[in-house]
Amino acid sequence: MFRSKSDVVSACRDIEALVGSAFAVPLHDLRAPGRGRAAAAFARQVAMYLAHVELGLTLSIVAMHFGRDRTTVAHACGRVEDRRDDPVIDMTLFCLTSVIAQHYREFGAVAAECRGRVL
């Protein structure tokens, strides 16, 4: 899906912006090196979860982008999965994944069309 490191960085930044907006958490709180407020910590966990699950990035790549350890990303993914039992959280994640899927489906279609013309 991603051709370069800058594509991965851009995709992670898009997810951060989307999640920050959905959870009303400023980007500087999402990117803070410490845990921060509970709302920011959970929003960051959601962003890492979406980067891993929806974009298919490895835990190590997600960790590198978010400035965390691989095991922290694994823990975040588990916490988000556990909280999907809450209907509000589950619906929020459904909406976020729908936006991401739509964006990258369109991106993929355009990329495929361009490859067809170039090759």
How confident is the model over 64-115, as pLDDT tens digits? 999 999 999 999 999 999 999 999 999 999 999 999 888 876 655 544 444 4
How confident is the model over 3-46, as pLDDT tens digits? 567 778 888 999 999 999 999 999 999 988 888 889 999 999 99
Q: Where are the domains of the chain?
A: 5-118
HEC per residue, the chain: CCCCHHHHHHHHHHHHHHHHHHHCCCHHHHCCCCCCCHHHHHHHHHHHHHHHHCCCCCHHHHHHHHCCCHHHHHHHHHHHHHHCCCHHHHHHHHHHHHHHHHHHHHHHHHHHHHHHHHC
pLDDT value at residue 2? 59
Domain 5-118: which CATH class? mainly alpha
Q: Residue 63 above 70 pLDDT?
A: yes
pTM of structure: 0.83
